[in-house]
Structure 1
Amino acid sequence: MAFYTLGLTFSIVIALTVVVLAIWLYGMYFNFKKWGIGSTGYQEPLAHSFWLFIATWIHEAFKDGVWVFIRTLILDVLLLRRTLRRSPVRWVMHMAIFYGFVTLAALSGLGLFMDIIEHFNILGMAHQAEMVKKAMELPFDIFGYLLLFGSTISILRRILLKEVRDATTGYDVVLIGGVFLITITGFYAEWMRGNAFLVGDVFANPVYAPHFALIHTILALCLFAFILPWSRYLHVIAAPMTILANRGGE
């Protein structure tokens, strides 16, 4: 459990994870219910409810059949073809950020699950859990570099391109800057432990590795729980759902 240092014990991480997930789930429930108020075509007891929005979204998303839903999901949500038509550079940036962020979030969840199995030796599978975590190190690095690549492009566009810089708001600075800081502090925590992917022992400094690990964890939890569900950055969920409900198109 070398990651959980500087007072961030395994028990505290589990407790924080539960709190963060609870806040995030409530944020989703709150927003879905709010969106349901604007829906039409349903009467009591569904009116102005969480379930109204879910029912309306499913009805619209599958209105033209399952095949149209699958096609829209693949081409417009997973491959971002509309973004590619507008700008290949923005497409590369969005693909890198999207797949880097989503995959790292999934790997982090799996890693925490493996930590729980290893810590409590559930079903006597502590050794197997440790092996799974070892196998996850390379995917973590690859998708971490992918996210770093995408967020760096986003930052450079806002610095170098006047039209992008003029359209940048404080919200953009918080989100893109937050993602960049989360990514780079995570990398620094790994690099300082030594024998890191691509950089080896260049940044090795085990004394400070736990500090960056702690900063990385706190920033990630704050972004996930206190920014994404409660700001306009909910569009990372709302935009794909809107595209699916509209069955693609512009």
Structure 2
Amino acid sequence: MAFYTLGLTFGIVIALTVATLAIWIYGLYFNFKKWGMGSTGYQDELRNSFWLFIATWIHQAFKDGVWVFVKTLILDVLLLRRTLRRSPIRWVMHMTIFYGFVALAAMSGFALFMDIIEHFNLLGLAHEAEMVKEMMALPFDIFGYLLLFGATIGVARRIFLREVRSRTSAYDVVLLGGVFLITITGFYAQWMRGNSFLVGDVFAYPIYAPHFALVHTILALALFVVILPWSKYMHIIAAPMTILANRGGE
């Protein structure tokens, strides 16, 4: 468990994971309940209701049938066809950031599950769990580079394009800059461990790898747990739900 050093023990990682999930679940509940207050056509005592919002959203999303819902989900949410129509560069940026982030988040969760199996030797599968984690190293690097590519496009557009730069707010700087820093620190921590995809041992310096891993973890928790559920960045959930509720369209 070389990754969990500098005080970042396995127990602390599990505790942080539980706390992260709890904050996200409560954040979703808080926002859904808040959005439910905007519902119309219902009795006032039901307006401030989490379940009212869920029921209303399901009704709207499936109003034209399952096929329309699936079509909208694939074309407008997963493939971002509306963004592609407006700007191919923005489409590439959004696609690489979205799928890079989602894939890394999913694999991180699965890797943590493998860590639990290895740590407690559940069902005697500690060795197999360690092998699975080793096999995940390449996919981690590939999707990491994908996320870094998208984040770099986003940063470059806001630096070099005057029109984009003039519309950039502090919120945009925090989110995009945070994603960029999180990706860079994660990569550098991995590069310092050595044997990394594309760069090999060029940046190998194992003694400092845990420091960058810790910085990477703190930045990720600060941005995606403390900021995202309580700011306008909830649009990463609100926007797809709005598109689905409207059954596509503009």
Check whether TM > 0.5. Answer: yes
What runs of 5+ residues in structure 1 fail to find an aligned partner? none
SS in structure 2 of the partner of residue 157 of structure 1: helix
After TM superposition, the score normalised by the length of structure 1 is 0.98
How far apart are the structure 2 equivalents of 1:249 and 1:97? 23
What is the match of residue 43 of structure 1?
43
SS in 2 for 1:69: helix
Number of residues of Structure 1 aligned to a counterpart in Structure 2: 250
Residue in 2 aligned with 1:58? 58
Q: CA deviation at 1:164?
A: 0.3
Give the letter for the 1:94 counterpart.
H
Aligned residues of 2:57 and 2:245 also touching (Cα < 8 A): yes
Does the 8 A contact of 2:38 with 2:47 survive in 1? no
After superposition, what is the alpha-carbon deviation per residue over 1:5-31, rounded to whole angstroms, capped at 9, x for unaligned? Answer: 111000011111111111111111000
Kindly provide the amino acid, as one letter, of the partner of residue 118 in structure 1.
E
User: 1:34 is matched with which residue?
Assistant: 34
Rounded Cα–Cα distance in structure 1 between residues aligned with 2:223 and 2:108: 14
- Contact 2:39–2:53 under 8 Å retained in 1: yes
CA positional deviation for 1:46? 4.0
Contact 1:157/1:164, CA 8 A, preserved across alignment? yes
Q: Is the 8 A contact 1:36 1:52 kept in 2?
A: yes
Measured against aligned partners, the alpha-carbon deviations of 1:93-129 in whole angstroms (never above 9, x if no partner) come to: 0000000011101111111111111101111111121
TM-score normalised according to structure 2 size: 0.98
Q: Match for residue 202 of structure 2?
A: 202
- Match of 1:101, SS? helix
Q: Which amino acid aligns with 2:23?
A: I
Q: Hey, what's the Cα distance between the residues in 2 that align with 1:124 and 1:41?
A: 57
Structure 2 residue identity aligned to 1:186:
G
Question: Would you say the 8 A contact 1:228–1:234 is kept in 2?
Answer: yes
Aligned to 2:72: 72
Q: Tell me the residue number matched to 1:225.
A: 225
Partner of 1:146: 146
* Residue 87 to residue 77, structure 1, CA distance change in 2 (3 Å): same
Query: What residue identity is the alignment partner of 1:25?
Result: I
After the TM superposition, which of the residue ranges 95-104 and 123-132 deviates more from structure 2? 123-132
Instruction: Give the drift of 1:189.
Output: 0.5
Matching of residue 244 in structure 1 with residue 235 in structure 2: no
Q: Check whether the contact 1:192–1:204 (CA below 8 A) recurs between aligned residues.
A: yes
Q: CA deviation at 1:43?
A: 3.4
Q: Does residue 133 in structure 1 map to residue 133 in structure 2?
A: yes
Aligned to 1:169: 169
Q: 1:47 deviation in Å?
A: 3.2
Aligned to 2:107: 107
Report Cα offsets for 1:143-188 as digits up to 9, x if no partner.
Answer: 0000000000000000000000000000000000000010000000
Indicate conservation of the 8 Å contact 1:42/1:52, yes or no. Answer: no
SS in 1 for 2:236: helix
